[in-house]
């Protein structure tokens, strides 16, 4: 999985879509995740987190997508010091 520190939220969403699997989607659905997901494993999300590091601006864009996998990744890369109630 090719990553760069300057990935936009749109590029990250494309990578997440490509990394999702039917089996993981099935598992997530069984645990109550709605249809707006790609089915990306937490191992893959961890690799993306290590590649992106802390980057609050893309985290906001990923969160705004409403996609489950993107939101999980957003919580992993967001800067807690910049987080607000909004």
Output the pLDDT for position 6. 66
Output the pLDDT for position 1. 45
Mean pLDDT for the stretch of residues 6-18: 91
The 10s digit of each residue's pLDDT in 20-76 is 999 999 999 999 999 999 999 999 999 999 999 999 999 999 999 999 999 999 999
Host H or E run for residue 25: helix 22-30
**pLDDT class for 2, splitting at 50, 70, 90?**
very low
Q: Report DSSP state, residue 31.
A: T
The residues spanned by each domain of the chain are 9-82
């Amino acid at each position: 999985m090719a990553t760069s520190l300057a990935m936009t939220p749109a590029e990250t969403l494309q990578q997440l879509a490509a990394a999702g699997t039917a089996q993981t989607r099935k598992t997530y659905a069984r645990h109550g995740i709605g249809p707006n997901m790609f089915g990306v494993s937490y191992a893959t999300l961890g690799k993306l987190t290590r590649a992106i590091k802390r980057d609050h601006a893309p985290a906001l864009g990923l969160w705004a997508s409403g996609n489950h996998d993107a939101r999980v990744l957003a919580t992993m890369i967001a800067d807690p010091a910049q987080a607000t109630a909004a």
